[in-house]
Structure 1
């Protein structure tokens, strides 16, 4: 069953979010967390749960959180054809629960909420090393628009 997460669900949302982050650790350093960052990451999730333009949906069966999706609405400059951006952020289904349609239901809930809030398009980012996720999003109707790139200019990278 799809539920809208609230502040009382912080522990469950955090646990799934950490699984997602841990899953992506090997994809690129951008996905890595600093040691001892749990409190800061929990605070970030708490802010998202409080934000009126963000919604976290969970898939819950028998009190077990099996998946989640985070959706956000952002206003771009009104001069653009697409100026009310719906954004699907973190999306994750526990490994034993994959392939059962949970992702489809979560994405549908996010799309419905975003369009009800006035989104005229929906964007997302997906790891270029996550071929399964890329295929999933293509089946949902998403197509590539840009290539997200990153350059590490931190002092660690310069000294390497």
Structure 2
């Protein structure tokens, strides 16, 4: 599949909604009822506000994946949003590190290399900016994503654990 990766901006955020909602459905599929997933309207409102804020202040990078579609158009088949965060006091990750907040590939394009291509584009840009480390969070039950990230050199680092507070 011929995929074109371009840099995105605040004006591109609205077009990401269908992909975000598909990822939300995927999260519902791979997790169990202990981990409630927000409704689509609420989730997208929160997500798009975060994206616009981060991109507007220059603390995030957005990469868009398109492929040729009929009649000479382009179809958005994936995106990656990476935050640039200051490194904390414990680990020497340089002045800042990249944190991949979202990596989304459409169901039709999944498994065709789009996710890897988006990650490679992000990695090149982070290196060009002098960033030496990056991280990505993944739902523990999302085994396919974990295998992809491990193939690209990610390894477990900090484990976040979650529990509901019993009444």
Alignment of 1:41-80 (within 5 A): 41-62=47-68, 63-77=74-88, 80=91
Counterparts in 2 of 1:75 and 1:65: CA distance versus 1, 3 Å: same
Query: 3-state DSSP class of the match of 2:111?
Result: coil
Match of 1:109 in 2: 121
Q: Write the distance in 1 (CA, Å) between the matches of 2:22 and 2:87.
A: 31
Q: Give the CA RMSD over aligned residues.
A: 2.1
Match of 1:14 in 2: 17
Q: CA deviation at 1:45?
A: 2.5
Query: 3-state DSSP class of the match of 2:158?
Result: coil
Query: 3-state DSSP class of the match of 1:25?
Result: helix
Q: Write the distance in 2 (CA, Å) between the matches of 1:103 and 1:19.
A: 15
Q: Does 1:145 align with 2:150?
A: no
Counterparts in 2 of 1:31 and 1:136: CA distance versus 1, 3 Å: farther
Unpaired stretches in structure 2, ≥5 consecutive residues: 69-73
Q: Write the distance in 2 (CA, Å) between the matches of 1:15 and 1:49.
A: 19
Aligned length: 155
Q: CA deviation at 1:67?
A: 0.7
Checking the alignment, whether the CA contact within 8 Å between 1:5 and 1:49 is kept in structure 2 is: no
Query: 3-state DSSP class of the match of 2:45?
Result: helix
Q: Could you tell me the TM-score, scaled by structure 1's length?
A: 0.84
Unpaired stretches in structure 1, ≥5 consecutive residues: none
Counterparts in 2 of 1:33 and 1:95: CA distance versus 1, 3 Å: same
Query: 3-state DSSP class of the match of 1:96?
Result: coil
Counterparts in 2 of 1:30 and 1:53: CA distance versus 1, 3 Å: farther
Counterparts in 2 of 1:95 and 1:118: CA distance versus 1, 3 Å: same
The list of structure 1 runs, each at least 4 consecutive aligned residues, that deviate by more than 4 angstroms after superposition, is 28-31
